[in-house]
Structure 1
Amino acid sequence: MNGAESLLSTLVNNEIEVCFTNPGTSEMHFVAALDEVDGMRCVLCLFEGVLSGAADGYARMARKPASTLLHLGPGLGNALANLHNAGKGHVPVVNIVGDHASYHLQYNAPLTSDITAIAGAVSDWTHTANSSAEIASDAAEAVRQAGFGSVATLILPADVSWGDNPNGAVAKVAIEPPTAVAEALIEDAVSRLQSGANCMLMIGGREIDKSRGLLINQIAKATGARVCSDVFPTRVARGAGTAVIERLPYLAELAIDHLKDIQQLILIGAAAPVSFFAYPGVPSAIAPDACEQLQLATPDNDIDRLLAEIARRVGAIDIEPEVYPLQLPPAPVGALDVNSAAQALAYYLPEEAVVVDESITAGMAIFPQTMKARAHDWLHLSGGSIGWGLPASVGAAIACPRRKVICLEGDGSAMYTIQALWTMAREDLDVLVIIFNNRKYSVLEMEFARTGARGGSPGVKAASTLGIGSPDMDFVALATGMGVSAERADSAEAFCALLEQAMSERGPRLIDAIVPSLF
């Protein structure tokens, strides 16, 4: 058994069963091992930013890591944006990055680079394998380090890959469970909740599933506190039967107003709220200066146990939580814009759908209008780096093959990782991609005004950097050219007809929704 075979076997032994790949010469022995080791699904992606985003989407829905296979430092560099998103979302990923043979590095060949430095920007743990005999142990450690919510990167020199490993593969390793929250912090939180002050429980982090939402809603009702999620929690259970939870607004000015009366802010899996960017005259910290904040739990704490314990102590267990009813709007007619599109989505969204949201400005209308739709999971762009939605939909569909995945995608962000459509077609994934095509970087138009640059009004040259028409992109042609069925909608009726068809059939398809800018 060579090093690559022992590495791959170790990953499979640890229930890592999907590898998103874009290999090169240094990884050929790993590629060859795919034919020798059973149990690993290999998914080819045409760009490294696709495979890293796919690994993120897969791990969110599977609640365990995927692996990636990347070619040297430049390949890892191409993957950084979506590894950044995974890290900010506390999503586990195991990266395997091929390197030159150890004896070849001294010659500084054209693709030689400092992989450790590149990996360090987005990895919680980085290690270079030094021998074939130890590579399986290194792989097992990478799995352990990735755990429930970290990015682990293992660098694999080519000679370590092809050399013999007399020790063979490593069996399944134990993953550290989430850590308990200290008793003193729990007592402090309960005291604040029962103090009579204006309290808010803010939940975020890796996941707000249905049970967590219901528990925190019960606690809020028992204590008179408000409950709010952070802006972009990684995965959220939403729709009929899920708890009513406010969401912190994205715009700093609105978020400041949202929290203006809060005296006690208790953070559960969420970080202290801050503005996404700095703006002249707008504070970076969102909470009022007089507000006392308690970091009760991080995403690595045992949040389920924590919420159950607080609920018991404040007498919330028997309180009926407030949940969203199923309340579907009528199918819209007339003009197609983001509001009518949101109404149509709320009407047609199927039970247990997975919504991957990179709709950017369109999401400001879509998210609130789907609160009372059929129960579904919603994945947010947790790290803010665009080009994530299409790849994350690939990963989510592979993790959940029996669930419809709906990718809400801005036209500008789609072009960062449009190659993901090819992988959807190749793998025959049940993904509906909806492109909100306004032929602008609309969010940047909004941000231009908010920063006050040039008085908030772009000139001709500045405006040319914010518009992406001339020529207009033909997403129907782009999709069909990569094997995905696609049609265009420019009215609410046409959009509804395409949605209805997509929800009743399996397989990848794309709707190019021509909409005006929200602003």
Structure 2
Amino acid sequence: MNGAQALIRTLVDAGVDVCFANPGTSEMHFVAALDDVPDMRAVLTLFEGVATGAADGYARMAGRPAATLLHLGPGMANGLANLHNARRGRTPLVNVVGDHARSHKRLDAPLESDIDAVAGTVSGWVRRSLAPEDVAADAADAVAAAAAGTIATLVLPADVSWSEGADVAVPVPARPAPRVAPPVVDDVAAVLASGEPAVLFLGGDAMTAEGQLAAARVTAGTGARLMSETFPARAARGAGMPELTRLPYPPEMAIAALAGTKHLVLAGAQAPVHFFGYPDVPGHPVPEGCTVHVLSAPGEDAVAALQALAERAAPDADPVLLEAERPELPSGELTPRSMAAVVGALLPERAIVVDEALTSGVGLAELTSGAPPHDWLSLTGGAIGDGLPMALGAAVACPDRPVLGIQADGSAMYTISALWSYAREQLDITTIVCDNGSYAILQHELERVGAASDGERAGQLLDLGGPDLDFVALATGMGVPATRATTAEELADQLQKALAEPGPHLIDAVLRR
């Protein structure tokens, strides 16, 4: 068999049976080999950033990697922002990038670039297959590397792909996450027993239901506060879960949230830092005099560490859990808060919420906290344009669960072509576009960095008007049924109908300017 056939068969045997693709000439033998390995599901996207973001969303929900197929260095560059988000979320992902045939590289063809160097900026593992006999083993190693929570990029020269002489490789057994040593648990238990103000700060796999419930036992028995990363990759939420405060995004609010803390205990998370530096503001919200303790580092088994800590520090404590509660359906003007109330009132059980609402997300966490159990996916790396692709990947991973995307208007335009893939695959995704006609988050940042300006030219770079974006037309033009809501009542009616019908839908929620 040729290299492409061996690669795909090895990926499938290793559990990677979905590939989000935007291929080109150098990947055509991979494309042809899909007919020889029907167990690999290939999902076409119209932009590489959709492919990489979809692979991110898929892996977050499936718990195992998807593959991407990208065309040379420029194709990978188009997908780089969402590879960045995947890296920040420790998403397992196998990134296959085609390259020129080995004999052609020395000619410096127009699409020639240093793929390996660019891949290294977002990948924890990079390898170039140098012969067809190597491809399958390289693919097995890539899956094993990705399973540890990283992006594994395999560069596949075109002639290695088309050449015969390859064979399928045996998958590399996955290694379980390392356990935290008992003395570490004992040390943290002693810190929490001191009675000094403490915060148990969660991230990574600590945000699963099991991790949060164990953490809530700890806080119930020790008096520590429970808090999480601002943008966790995946969080279990809803009735029956503990109340979990996210560290706020604005620096002044994050600093206030941790004020007075003497001990910050990290479980699956890194010590928090602000997204940006600001004049006369410290780079992180951890107060002076606060000691940071690592219960489990990212990549270690945070759930087991929290369960061990609960047994050690709070053996008889019962976690305080949220009761089932929904807001009343609002009426009147459509604002970010009334939009959040509609979502909280109607959110289906077992829904997957993909949150890229940004500034329009005010009230979403609060008003959905008592909704039926659901999962929440966040923008981990801050590179906007991940929401629509992540919803695509999540829906492919979980076809029996409704997906609800809450999507800011400006960032939607980065990867709007994801809607075409929704329609082509007939995925059960409902998208609410938070249409406020501006890059509102940048208006806030303009003031926060001390560069506030009332000038017309500065304002034009933050305003999405002139012409206004028509999301109904954009969606219907790509095969997704779409409606427009201008009041809370209209949004509620349209969301109920969209959730009741299979397939994709988009609602353009026109918010108060």
Q: Is contact 2:10–2:170 with CA below 8 Å preserved after alignment?
A: yes
2:367 is aligned, of 327, 349, 369, to: 369
Letter in 2 for 1:479: A
1:296 Cα deviation after fit: 2.1
Distance 1:125 1:165 in 2: 25
1:319 Cα deviation after fit: 2.3
Matches within 5 A, 1:288-307: 288-307=287-306
Q: Is contact 1:132–1:163 with CA below 8 Å preserved after alignment?
A: yes
Report the secondary structure of 2:362's partner residue: helix
Please list the CA deviations of residues 96-148 of structure 1 after superposition, one character each: whole Å capped at 9, or x if unmatched.
10000011101001001100011011100100000001110000010011114
Q: 1:282 matched to which residue of 2?
A: 281
Q: Is contact 1:241–1:323 with CA below 8 Å preserved after alignment?
A: yes
Please list the CA deviations of residues 417-441 of structure 1 after superposition, one character each: whole Å capped at 9, or x if unmatched.
0000000000000000100001100
Matches within 5 A, 1:328-347: 328-347=326-345
Please list the CA deviations of residues 380-413 of structure 1 after superposition, one character each: whole Å capped at 9, or x if unmatched.
1000000000000000000000111000000000
Q: Is contact 2:295–2:305 with CA below 8 Å preserved after alignment?
A: no
2:411 is aligned, of 410, 413, 416, to: 413
Q: Is contact 2:340–2:362 with CA below 8 Å preserved after alignment?
A: no
1:185 Cα deviation after fit: 1.9
Q: 2:113 matched to which residue of 1?
A: 113
1:207 Cα deviation after fit: 5.6
1:171 Cα deviation after fit: 2.2
Q: 2:68 matched to which residue of 1?
A: 68
Report the secondary structure of 2:432's partner residue: strand
Report the secondary structure of 1:107's partner residue: coil
Please list the CA deviations of residues 8-56 of structure 1 after superposition, one character each: whole Å capped at 9, or x if unmatched.
0000001111000011110011001000113100000000000000000
Letter in 2 for 1:247: R
Q: Is contact 2:233–2:377 with CA below 8 Å preserved after alignment?
A: yes
Change (3 A) 1:340 1:67: same
1:335 Cα deviation after fit: 1.0
1:351 Cα deviation after fit: 0.2
- Higher mean alpha-carbon deviation, 366-375 vs 493-502, is at 366-375
Q: Is contact 1:207–1:234 with CA below 8 Å preserved after alignment?
A: no
Distance 2:140 2:383 in 1: 30
Cα RMSD after superposing both structures: 1.0
1:206 Cα deviation after fit: 4.8
Q: Is contact 1:207–1:235 with CA below 8 Å preserved after alignment?
A: no
Distance 2:453 2:181 in 1: 51
Q: Is contact 2:235–2:375 with CA below 8 Å preserved after alignment?
A: yes
Distance 2:266 2:288 in 1: 16
Q: 1:505 matched to which residue of 2?
A: 501
Please list the CA deviations of residues 175-221 of structure 1 after superposition, one character each: whole Å capped at 9, or x if unmatched.
11101112332222111111121111100125611111111000111
Q: 1:48 matched to which residue of 2?
A: 48
Q: 1:81 matched to which residue of 2?
A: 81
Q: Is contact 2:192–2:224 with CA below 8 Å preserved after alignment?
A: yes
Q: Is contact 2:205–2:301 with CA below 8 Å preserved after alignment?
A: no
Letter in 2 for 1:510: L
Q: 1:213 matched to which residue of 2?
A: 212
Matches within 5 A, 1:311-330: 311-316=310-315, 318-330=316-328
Q: 1:5 matched to which residue of 2?
A: 5
Query: Could you tell me the TM-score, scaled by structure 1's length?
Result: 0.97
1:457 Cα deviation after fit: 2.8
Report the secondary structure of 1:373's partner residue: coil
Distance 1:371 1:179 in 2: 32
Distance 1:502 1:241 in 2: 27
Distance 2:88 2:247 in 1: 17
Q: 1:198 matched to which residue of 2?
A: 197
Q: Aligned residue pairs: how many?
A: 513
Letter in 1 for 2:209: K
Q: 1:252 matched to which residue of 2?
A: 251
Distance 2:495 2:432 in 1: 9
Report the secondary structure of 2:289's partner residue: coil
Matches within 5 A, 1:80-479: 80-166=80-166, 168-206=167-205, 208-316=207-315, 318-453=316-451, 456-479=452-475
Letter in 2 for 1:64: R
Letter in 2 for 1:279: Y
Q: Is contact 2:333–2:512 with CA below 8 Å preserved after alignment?
A: no
Distance 1:43 1:221 in 2: 46
Distance 1:320 1:184 in 2: 24
Distance 1:229 1:381 in 2: 14
Distance 2:131 2:362 in 1: 51
Letter in 2 for 1:327: E
Report the secondary structure of 2:214's partner residue: helix
Q: 1:516 matched to which residue of 2?
A: 512
Please list the CA deviations of residues 265-316 of structure 1 after superposition, one character each: whole Å capped at 9, or x if unmatched.
1111111111111111111121111000012212210112111111111133
Report the secondary structure of 2:46's partner residue: coil
Q: Is contact 2:238–2:374 with CA below 8 Å preserved after alignment?
A: yes
Distance 2:453 2:98 in 1: 48
Letter in 2 for 1:332: P
Distance 2:56 2:297 in 1: 20
Q: Is contact 1:448–1:458 with CA below 8 Å preserved after alignment?
A: no
Q: Is contact 1:212–1:304 with CA below 8 Å preserved after alignment?
A: yes
Matches within 5 A, 1:20-39: 20-39=20-39
Letter in 2 for 1:224: G
Distance 2:269 2:138 in 1: 32
Distance 1:192 1:388 in 2: 39
Distance 2:333 2:236 in 1: 31
